[in-house]
Amino acid sequence: MKQNTYLLLIAILILGISCTSSEDCTEDRIAKMGVGFYTRALTDTLRKVYTTKAINLDTLSVRGLAANGTLIDSILYKSKTIQNIYLPLNKFETGSKFVLTFKTTKDTIEILHTNTDYYLSLECGCMKVHSIDTVLTTTNLIDSVKIINHKVNATNAEHVQIFIN
Amino acid sequence: MYKYLLISLLICFVASSIQAQDKQEKKPEVKTPNVKWWDGMTLQVDAASIASSTLLSKDIYSVEAGAQIELKHKYLPIVELGYASVNKTSLEDIRFKTSGFFGRVGLDFNLVKKKKDAKLSPNLFLLGLRLGMTNATYTINNMAITNDYWGAGQVLSESKLSPTKIWFELVFGIRVEVVKNIHMGWSLRNKHLLTTDKEGEISPWYIPGYGKNATSNWGFSYTVGYKF
């Protein structure tokens, strides 16, 4: 009987340890689209072979452009040297526009995307994840854009490559 | 995983049967205790879930009871039925509610060896398996999604979802006779969910009879029962 009491106490102890858990949300809940800046250089003129090279931009500022055409007050980036930026897509619209200002030249990129609810847990709730359909751009300084990863979730991945002239 | 589990239980069963057979063949002159095919039925309630509901947790209320029969003092099929109700609010004010019945069926093996020329012990060392099921309804309300940069937000609510949840449990425990026909015992349960949720889909925080929603879980029960 004494032995049984010890076994019971050990079991309660194990149960107590296994029941302690944090109720804070520790997961990242913001899905941002990763953008990298690149340049293309013609390395073989005969065979028209281009090599892609990541570049650091001298000066860049980024702001969102609302659906009614007004610039959003808050500046997302204002940096002297930058290679990658992470942009928040609009969670309740299927298009997000950004104005990129390179020194004095401006370009606008428009991302067409779908938004899906993604449940994390009771502690963290729900977040929105996106799937990029199309990326449109003006071509003042930007040469072209390429989607390399359509799924935008909470990981810091690169989704779009912007090629600069 | 399940395959190994079933194989190991089968090996236990076969090994114990062979052992019993060998003993009978080698020493026919030794009197073995009179083992009855039907050795009674025990009706029991889980005191641990009641104590936990009233003393430890304000959010979770759970009660359960079971009926276990004893065959040949070795095999103990069991049916367990219970009800759980949960009303939980997270730190971010997300509200989860569930209530519903659950059931388990299973089999315990008594690991206490029969001693020659001795009375059968009413105390049992049990190793067993359970298959549990529930389709309790749950709701999750007040999940806010903010759109900080672009402005505006949304509050999501999902209501009246009743997914069927099935799981199995590995059970290890003891049961002793404290007073004539009154039995008490505890068991430790390692639970594994067989029906899992799709990543990103809304899922219950708590599953009645299983506990917090995770691929595996631990449980503890302390039973008080009467043997008929």
Domain match, B19 and B128 both: no
Q: Which of B124, B149, B203 to mutate to test the interface with A (most CBs of A within 10 A)?
A: B149
A58-70 tens-digit pLDDT: 888 999 999 888 8
Q: Are A81 and A54 in contact (CB under 8 A)?
A: no
Domain match, B117 and B24 both: no
Domain match, B38 and B4 both: no
Domain match, B132 and B216 both: yes
Domain match, B153 and B68 both: yes
Structure confidence at residue A138 (pLDDT): 94
Q: Where are the domains of chain A?
A: 28-164
Range of the domain at B164: 33-227
Which residues in chain A have Cβ-Cβ distances shorter than 8 Å to B202? 119, 126
Cβ within 8 Å of B, A 83-122: 88, 90-93, 96, 116-119, 121-122
Rounded to 5 degrees, what are φ and ψ at A26?
A: -110, 5
A105-145 tens-digit pLDDT: 999 999 999 999 999 999 999 999 999 999 999 999 999 99
Distances (CA, A) of B165 to A57, B74, B99, B162, B193: 53, 30, 13, 9, 8
Domain match, B85 and B116 both: yes
A27-58 tens-digit pLDDT: 888 899 999 999 988 788 788 788 888 888 88
d(CA A65, CA B21): 83
Instruction: Please state the ipTM of this predicted complex.
Output: 0.75
Domain match, B25 and B116 both: no
Alpha carbon A62 to chain centroid, angstroms: 14
Whether residue A12 lies within 8 A of chain B, CB to CB, comes out as yes
Structure confidence at residue B122 (pLDDT): 81
Q: Write out residues in chain B with pLDDT < 70, as ranges.
A: 1-33, 116-118, 159
Domain match, B189 and B121 both: yes
Q: Which of B52, B88, B111, B145 to mutate to test the interface with A (most CBs of A within 10 A)?
A: B145
Whether residue A4 lies within 8 A of chain B, CB to CB, comes out as yes
Structure confidence at residue A1 (pLDDT): 52
Which residues in chain A have Cβ-Cβ distances shorter than 8 Å to B154? 91-92
Which residues does B contribute to its contact with A (CB < 8 Å)? 88, 90-92, 94, 96, 140, 143-145, 147-150, 152, 154, 156, 174, 176, 186, 188, 200-203, 205, 218, 220, 222
Å from A74 to nearest chain B CA?
A: 8
Whether residue A32 lies within 8 A of chain B, CB to CB, comes out as no
Structure confidence at residue A111 (pLDDT): 96
A13-24 tens-digit pLDDT: 555 544 555 678
> Which residue on chain A is closest to B48 by alpha carbon?
A12
Residue from the list A1, A64, A118 with its beta carbon closest to the beta carbon of B149? A64
d(CA B223, CA B228): 16
Whether residue A17 lies within 8 A of chain B, CB to CB, comes out as no
Q: Are B99 and B73 in contact (CB under 8 A)?
A: no
Domain match, B142 and B78 both: yes
Q: Are B113 and B121 in contact (CB under 8 A)?
A: no
Number of CB pairs < 8 Å for A and B?
A: 78
Q: Which of A21, A65, A126 to mutate to test the interface with B (most CBs of B within 10 A)?
A: A126
Question: Which CATH number is B72's domain given?
Answer: 2.40.160.20
- Counting the structural domains of chain B, the total is 2
Strands A142-147 and A125-137: unpaired
**Is the per-residue pLDDT at A9 higher than 60?**
no
Structure confidence at residue A10 (pLDDT): 57
Across the interface, whether the CB atoms of B201 and A119 are under 8 A apart is answered: yes
What integer best gives the mean pLDDT of chain A? Answer: 85
B111-148 tens-digit pLDDT: 988 776 667 778 889 999 999 999 999 999 999 998 88
Residue from the list A7, A76, A123 with its beta carbon closest to the beta carbon of B90? A123
Å from A157 to nearest chain B CA?
A: 19
d(CA B73, CA B38): 8
Structure confidence at residue A57 (pLDDT): 84
Structure confidence at residue A5 (pLDDT): 60
Domain match, B102 and B15 both: no
pLDDT interval class at A81 (50, 70, 90): confident
Whether residue A6 lies within 8 A of chain B, CB to CB, comes out as no
Domain match, B122 and B21 both: no
- Going through B19-94 in order, the beta strands assigned E by DSSP cover 38-46, 60-71, 75-89
d(CA A36, CA B114): 74
d(CA A119, CA A29): 10
Structure confidence at residue A160 (pLDDT): 95
**Is the per-residue pLDDT at A86 higher than 60?**
yes
Domain match, B44 and B11 both: no
